[in-house]
Structure 1
């Protein structure tokens, strides 16, 4: 007499457990796309919070006139270099500009500086501007560059006041390639070689590596 109620009770409990498991699986499946998108944003260098750090390609001919210009697409940069000169990115139209955030304490930055210097010296269509992203003073930085000379201009950028139109560096070095029309083309987080920069220039419609000297 007592066996049947017990079997019924066990069967009901098992059914409830299976139902709960199915509901949980369905909830996990529904939540998966949102979780994946959030994770992707965290790893993407182009996350909106960074304003751009990535692979935005220049618009095709005729498109730029239709799209409103913005500081994200066409960044402004006005700084005073160590030699006291005014550097205005807007005045560099017609050339590919490599904007390189670096620091004296950054070993990968120091490793890539000779290549950036050679690129600036050997390619007439390319120029480099170095932004020392650290708390230092002009005399200290001049002394450092006397030991690690480069041919391109260098300016100090305060870490608490980075250029508003560029992504705030999450690591160094950070290098931004700007096209001759002033459009931000590509951003490299981490060391970059002269060849990689020339390949990015070619991909964006510029001269091939080794050309345009």
Structure 2
């Protein structure tokens, strides 16, 4: 319990730091994926997108990973894209790729500089703790949001009506 409180407090501090003005933040933020490609959320218009803000150091985030893997496998053919946004102070692609391989992550994961991730988070209504899940409808608008861990059935209830 104490560890979770510390993780929550740390995440709260990190996500409330002031944002720097930049042209590459917000909904059009170019997200760097672990495969080296870039992606902007508007490119996924027409799909239902579950955006999961998480970190490798966050215990509730780690508990969600198997649920997100199952969700991606179950609903990809119906137009769902699970997109992980990893929050790290110093982006490290190799470390993240190893982590994804070790955990069998089957959905794209983006990472980036703190200001870029925070800019996207702000554009989607804010992220003040981890994990945070935002579900975007096929028009790219936030239709559902949740702070804290989710299980498969809770995720299913968030995405199924939009598919």
Root-mean-square deviation over aligned CA pairs = 2.1
Q: Indicate yes or no: 2:66 matched with 1:114.
A: yes
1:95-119 Cα deviation digits (max 9, x unpaired)? 1101111001111111111111111
Matched, 1:148 2:115: no
Identify the residue that residue 178 of structure 1 maps to in structure 2.
136
How far has the Cα of 1:193 moved from its partner?
A: 2.2
User: Residue 206 of structure 1 corresponds to which residue in structure 2?
Assistant: 162
The answer to whether structure 1 residue 190 and structure 2 residue 148 are counterparts is: yes
Partner-residue secondary structure (3-state), 2:114: coil
Higher Cα radius of gyration: 1
Give unpaired runs (5+ residues) of structure 1.
Answer: 1-48, 50-71, 208-213
Q: Does the 8 Å contact 1:76/1:165 carry over to 2?
A: no
- Runs of 4+ in structure 1 displaced over 4 angstroms? none
* Distance of aligned partners of 1:114 and 1:89 in 2 relative to their CA distance in 1, 3 Å threshold: same
Matching of residue 138 in structure 1 with residue 93 in structure 2? yes
**Runs of 5+ consecutive residues of structure 2 not aligned to the other structure:** 1-15, 17-25
Residue of structure 2 aligned with 1:127, choices 81, 103, 121: 81
Whether the 8 Å CA contact 1:79–1:88 is kept in 2: the answer is yes
Displacement of 1:77 in angstroms is: 4.3
Calculate the TM-score normalised by the size of structure 2.
0.72
Partner of 1:158: 113
Figure out how many residues of one structure are paired with residues of the other and give that number: 133
